[in-house]
Structure 1
Amino acid sequence: MSERLKSFIRERATALGFEACRFASASAPWDAGERLAHFVGEGRHGDMGWMETTLERRAHPTAMWPEAKTAVVLGLNYGPEADPLPQMADRSAGYLSVYARGDDYHEVIKGRLKILAGQMAARTGQDVKVFVDTAPLMEKPLAQRAGLGWQGKHTNLLSRRHGNWLFLGSILTTAEIEPDAPEGEHCGSCTACLDACPTAAFPAPFQLDARRCLSYLTIEFAGPWPEEFRVATGSRIYGCDDCLAVCPWNKFASGAREARLHAREALNAPRLADLLALDDPAFRALFAKSPVKRIGRDRFVRNVLYAAGNSGDAGLVEPVGALLGDPDPVVRDAAAWALRRLEAAGLA
C-alpha cells in the first residue's frame, strides 16, 4: 500500500509541475532544532525576532503538529538560463536575486500543494497540512532527510540534479508512508561559496551569520546599514546570489520550466535611475505579484540608493539628490551617503 501511495503522490506531483517529490519521517528525532537554537543563541538571526519567538515550534515538525507522521517534500526548479553574476558588471543597473525576478514563488507553489494535499487526503483519509516557507517548519533539514539534496557549506539546499536553484514546499500528513533514503553531503573540500561571499557572512562552513548577509540586509533589515555593507552590496538591491551561483553543482542545473518563474523583462536589469523615481504606487505596480513587494517602497529605495552610491554614474547625481528630502529618514540617510560617494568620485 505504501509504495502504491508513493507512486500515486509522485505522479500527481509531476503532473502539477514539481520536479522533485520525496518522503521523510516527520516524527523521527533530529538535531536540526539544536543547530537552530545555537544560531539564535549566538544572535546570528539579527532582527528576525520571529525566529526567537517561534523557536520551540521550529525545533521539530511534531512540535508544531504532534500528530504528523510523514513529510512529503516537493521541489520546483527556478534555475536561470545562464550564470546571473556577470550582470553586476553594469553598475547603473540594479541586481535582483534570481528568485525574485518572476512571480512570488509562495503563490506559484501554494496552490499546487493544496491540490496535491487534497488528493492525498481523499486517497488516504488522513489529515494533511501545507507549508511554503511562511510557517515554523524547517524545510531544508526535511528536504535533506527526504533525499532531495543536502545543506551545503552556505547552509542552502544543494541538489545534484538542480544545483542551488530549487524552491521547496512541504505537506505534513498523519498517514504513515515509507520514508526515502536521506541525502549525504557532497561538498567535499570545495569552498567556492564561502570564498564568494562579499561580506564574509560565513563564520565557518555550514554556518551563517545573517547579520552580515546581503539577503538579510536588503530584505529583512529595516534600518540604515553599516558603512562596510553599503559598499559591499555593489549593485545588489534585493537578495544576493553569489554563494549560490558559484557552486560547481550548478553544471547539472537547467532553466526553470515554469513560465511564472522566468525573469520579467522589467526586473532583469532595471536601471537605477528609474528605480530611484519610484513612489509607493509606482513601486506597487512594478512589483505586483513579486516577492519584492513585501519589503515596501522605502526599504527598497534605500537599497537602490546604496547601489547608486557604488555606481560611479554621474547621471544618478540628480535623482539621488531629489531624495534628500524624502519623508522617510532612512531613505534620506541613504541619499546623503550616496551623494557623498558620487561627489568623492568627482561625479557631482
Structure 2
Amino acid sequence: MKALFLFFFLFSVSMFSQTCCSGGVPLSNNLGLPNEGKGVFVMGLNYDYNNLNTLNAGTEKLDDNSRQRITNSLLLNFGYSFTDRLSVETLFTWVNQTRIITQFGNENVTETSGIGDAVLLVKYSIPDLLGKRTILNIGAGTKVPFGKSDILSDQGIQLTADLQPGSGAWDGIGWLSASKQMNFRPSATVSATATYRFTGVNDSYLNNAATYEFGNEIQTNLGYSDQFFMLNTLFNPGLIFKYRKAFEDKIDDIGIPNTGGEWVFIRPELGVKLSPQMNIVSRVELPLYSNVVGTQLTPTVRFTIGITIKIKTKKENSLNIIP
C-alpha cells in the first residue's frame, strides 16, 4: 500500500513540475549581518518577492506560461556582537506562496501563508588573516522548523512540501565569507560568501505516511561594491554574481523527479545610508543560466528591499585623568 502511494506521489510530482524549493523562504540569501563591534545590536527587516514563471527542461526554456509561482516573504534578522570577533545572528520568517496553473481556460490557484522556519547562526570574524584590509568570517548554525508543514488544501488534502511554510525538519548550516578593501580605492570592497545547507528529514510527512527530505544546497556569491557621496548622503552600489546548486529532494529516501539543478544569477544592489545607524538596501536578482533536472519552473525575477538598524547597547567607560 505504501509503495502504491509512493508511486502515485512521484507521478503527481512529475506532472506538476516541482520547483526544488526555489520558491520557498530565502533563508541562505538573507544571512550575514555585519559584526559592528562589541556590544552592538543589529536588526534587519526585509521584504522579498520571488517570481517563477519560466519553465525549463534542462537548460532549454520552454514556450509555456501555464504555470507560475509567487513567493512573498518577510524576514526579520537580529544580531548581537559579544566581542569584536564573536557574534550571533537569528532570522525569523513569514511566507506567502501562491501557485497558479492555467489549463484549458481554467485557472487553479493554491495559496498558503504562515510563519516559516528560523535560523540561528554563530559567527567568528578574523581580520587580516588573508592579508591587509581583509576580514574572514566563519559561521555555523541550524535551521529550526518553526513553520507548519502539514497545511491542508480546501479539499482537505495535505499540500506537498514545496507549498508548506515550513519544512518540518532541522537543518545544519555552514557559512563562510571573506572581504577585502581595495588598495587602489579604499572605499571599494571585493567580497565572497559561501553557504552550505545540510537538510534534515521530515519524519511526519503526509500525516506520517512518508518521510520527506529537501535536497542539500550550495550557494556562493562573488561581488564588488563601492561608496560615494551625493546630496549629503552615502550611497553603496554593488554587483553580485551568485551560483546556486540544489540536490534532488527525496521521499522515503527515494529521489523525486524534477527536483534539483544549478543556477547562475546576477544581482545589482544599492544601499543608502540614511544615518550612521540606519541603512536601506535594495537588490534585483536576474537569472543568467539555469540547468534543472527534468522539467521545472525556474526563477524569473527576484526583488528584495530592507532596512538595517544598529544600536550601541553598552557605553564605553571613559577615564578622565586630571594632571
Q: If the TM-score is normalised by the length of the shorter chain, which range does it land in?
A: under 0.3
Q: Which structure is richer in relative contact order (CA contacts within 8 A, separation 6 or more)?
A: 1
**TM-score of the superposed pair, with normalisation by structure 2:** 0.27
The structure with more helix, counted as a fraction of residues: 1
The structure with more strand, counted as a fraction of residues: 2
